[in-house]
Amino acid sequence: MPAGTPALLMPELPEVETVVRGLRRHLPGRRIVELRLGKTDFMDDPAAIGERVPGSLIRAVRRHGKFLVLDLEAGAADGSGARAELLVIHLGMTGQLTVVAADTEVKPHTHVFFMLDDRRELRFCDPRRFGRMLVATPADGQKILGPLGADPLEVSEADFRRLITSRRARIKALLLDQTVFRGMGNIYTDESLWRAKIHPARLGANLKPPEIRKLHRAMRAILEQAIKLGGSSISDYVGADGEPGEFQIRHRAYDREGKKCFRCRARIRRMIVAGRSSYFCPKCQRAPRGL
DNA sequence: CGTTGAACCTGTTTGC
DNA sequence: TGCAAACAGGTTCAAC
């Protein structure tokens, strides 16, 4: 495990999906009766959250890329003056959302307590505070969610090809670009490229149709498997119920520098591509010319 | 357009 | 042993 890797959770698409599914079992139908705030520098507008969230009813929990969205119905409990609000949350690198009994011990770096009407609390904990939180009308929420690209699990092969070949950036950069595909992160990008045998520094526009087809399939298969396994790649993952999981995905490339490729036994290498650590097999994933 | 590097912030591991 | 450096799953912005 690389230095400093927080043994908490890795919020890429499968992890956020896992959190959303966990929250869905507890939150819809609950009312947020009170809010307590710690540090708020990860909020767009802390005052707005303090004013508009308390008293609201949680209608639904959903995911948009790596963003979690709570659909709220704000206004009086009798339904008068009801208005729709979105609570938009990004977990950044170390964010956690858990639903716990109100008397549960508070972990360090817990910055938001959403007190519910069933003596429980939704808590947001984020040591690095790279996360983000805001309340918005559905229209304003579109300013955040609207620019996000295609859902990697839904995108058709034809659209996938078009999105990749119409750009001149490296494939690694394209997969990580949230305005192209929403939800891909560093781990699953490397895993998808390894499975499709494509070097991260290849230009998207230069990929051949069979390669694009393989990548499309690899990406979806890996994301689906990760979701199925509970969306975590390290052992100390904590789900929405606060319970540690035993989810283990065996990385094929990510964080395996110097180890043998599971396909060809060559040594996995690491290089910086698109500003991020990138792990690949130099034999299976042929480097583009000029590298 | 696309790339790079720095910044945001805290914690853990590595290396001297 | 101790301390500093390097690094981390994310995003955003400035500079080239």
Is A108 a known active-site residue?
no
Is A121 a known active-site residue?
no
pLDDT band at A53 (very low <50, low <70, confident <90, very high): very high
Q: How many CB atoms lie within 10 A of CB A242?
A: 16
- Name the closest nucleotide to A7, judged by C1' and CA: B12
Domains and their CATH numbers in chain A: 13-145 (3.20.190.10), 157-280 (1.10.8.50)
Q: Which range (A10-19, A47-56, A100-109) has the least confidence?
A: A10-19
**How far is it, in rounded angstroms, from Cα A288 to Cα A260?**
22
What is the model's pLDDT at position A4? 33
Indicate whether A7 pLDDT > 80: no
Encoding tokens for residue A68? Answer: 């979690």
CB of A169 nearer than 7 A to strand C: no
Sheet with A110-116: strands ordered across: A32-37, A110-116, A120-125, A96-101
**How far is it, in rounded angstroms, from Cα A283 to Cα A209?**
21
pLDDT band at A1 (very low <50, low <70, confident <90, very high): very low
**How far is it, in rounded angstroms, from Cα A127 to Cα A38?**
12
Q: Which range (A26-30, A245-249, A266-270) has the least confidence?
A: A245-249
**How far is it, in rounded angstroms, from Cα A283 to Cα A281?**
5
More confident residue, A239 or A155: A155
Which is catalytic among the residues A21, A107, A213, A276?
Answer: A276
Indicate whether A57 pLDDT > 90: yes
Predicted confidence (pLDDT) per residue in A104-113, tens digit = 999 999 999 9
- Name the closest nucleotide to A272, judged by C1' and CA: B4
Indicate whether A233 pLDDT > 90: no
Nearest alpha carbon to residue A124 among A104, A145, A99: A99
CB of A275 nearer than 7 A to strand C: yes
Indicate whether A243 pLDDT > 70: no
pLDDT band at A239 (very low <50, low <70, confident <90, very high): low
Give the mean pLDDT of chain A: 92
Q: A111 near A41, Cβ under 8 Å?
A: no
What is the model's pLDDT at position A2? 40
Is residue A57 helix, strand or coil?
A: strand
Predicted confidence (pLDDT) per residue in A188-208, tens digit = 999 999 999 999 999 999 999
Q: What percent of chain A has pLDDT over 90?
A: 85
